[in-house]
Homo-oligomer: A and B are copies of this chain.
Amino acid sequence: MLNRRWILSARPRGRPTTEHLHLVEDRLRPLTNDELLLKNLYISLDPATRKRMDEADGYLPAIPLGGTPTTTVLAEVIESRHPDFRAGEIVTSFGGWAEYSIVSPDVMTARITATPDIPLTYHLSMLGITGLTAYFGLLDCGRPRPRETVLVSAAAGAVGSLVGQIAKLHGCRTVGIAGTETKCRRLITEFGFDDAILYRELDTAGLAARIHQCCPQGVDIHFENVGGTLLDAALLTINPGARIVLCGLIAGYNTQTSPGCQNLWQVIARSASIQGFLVKDYLHRREEALASLRRWLSEGHLKVREHVETGIEIVPAAFAKLFDGSNDGKLMIKMASEPFDRLNT
């Protein structure tokens, strides 16, 4: 059985292009015990994958040269050598930028229950790793209390937009930072943020002044997806005891030397904390989060925006959109026809 997959052929210095990624086709090996063969229906494209294209290990081990970038996928089990899964089931898992993936199920692999009222793609966005990231990052690391102010960077992004909505459900004032006027409008009208800040063309001091304006009571929780100037500005606005949830640092992913965080002294000055966050540490509590997320969704409290492109060939071009902000919601690639009829009846 043939499998088309992207491989990392050279390590990018800046943004990855088709110079660094090649589409290859090879034969799938047979499964060994406990493995699953997955046919990827949708694959998620995530900023963190860029970090893994560098030589040094980061969030996750570096992708070896010649290896296939891995990501969360929504897939159909084609063949199972694992007692807990059967062919035909739909799972989310940690697969590859590929038509098919062979995986050994661990905490990243979970059977999903497709229901007619929930689009299948939601299991890769609001009800997938994206939603779990927002849920545990905000609630466990951020520990929001009513009337606190929550600041979110990349707030129109997949995780950020959910963080704002969940914070609002917990009685917080929410302020989002985004990169275009359209996104800023959307933060308020679509995702219910109390205020929005356009960061483009502002330096650290200018951005801090804008944050102060929009957060007159100071910032109690800062949910950081970006880093760089945004983090430095946010640090200038935090209250004593503030919690900074460090979820991503996309500003530094395409640069060899990042500008570096200048204002760490504010963490001392405000007795604040920075908590690094990896969603994988929380996946054993997946069901708790999903129960809440499903309830909020059914009550109409959560909105999600998805940006779906089609076909494995488009992956590098679509991936690039994450880094100029031109994607419009949770970015994913539709790899194959959904087995909609079978699932949604």
Interface residues of A (CB under 8 A from B): 51, 57-60, 227, 231, 246-249, 252, 257-262, 264-278, 281
Contact = CB atoms under 8 A, between A and B. Distances in A.
B281 A276 contact: no
A230 to B, nearest CB: 12
Q: Could you say which of A51, A57, A276 has the most chain B C-beta atoms within 10 Å of its C-beta?
A: A276
Contacts of A269: 57-60, 276, 278
A281 B277 contact: no
B267 A264 contact: no
B276 A267 contact: yes
Contact of A246 (B51, B57, B264): B264
A252 B277 CA distance: 27
Contacts of A259: 260
Given A260-B259, A260-B260, A265-B249, A274 B271 contact: no
A208 B246 CA distance: 22
Nearest to A232: B260
A259 B259 CA distance: 8
27 contacts: A51-B265, A59-B268, A59-B269, A246-B264, A247-B268, A249-B268, A257-B262, A258-B260, A259-B260, A260-B260, A260-B261, A260-B262, A261-B261, A261-B264, A264-B274, A266-B276, A267-B276, A268-B276, A268-B278, A269-B278, A271-B276, A271-B278, A272-B276, A273-B273, A273-B274, A273-B276, A274-B274
Nearest to A236: B56
A281 B271 CA distance: 8
Nearest to A261: B261
A59 B275 contact: no
B273 A275 contact: yes
Given A247-B268, A249-B265, A264-B274, 5 more contacts: A59-B268, A246-B264, A260-B261, A268-B278, A271-B281
A147 to B, nearest CB: 22
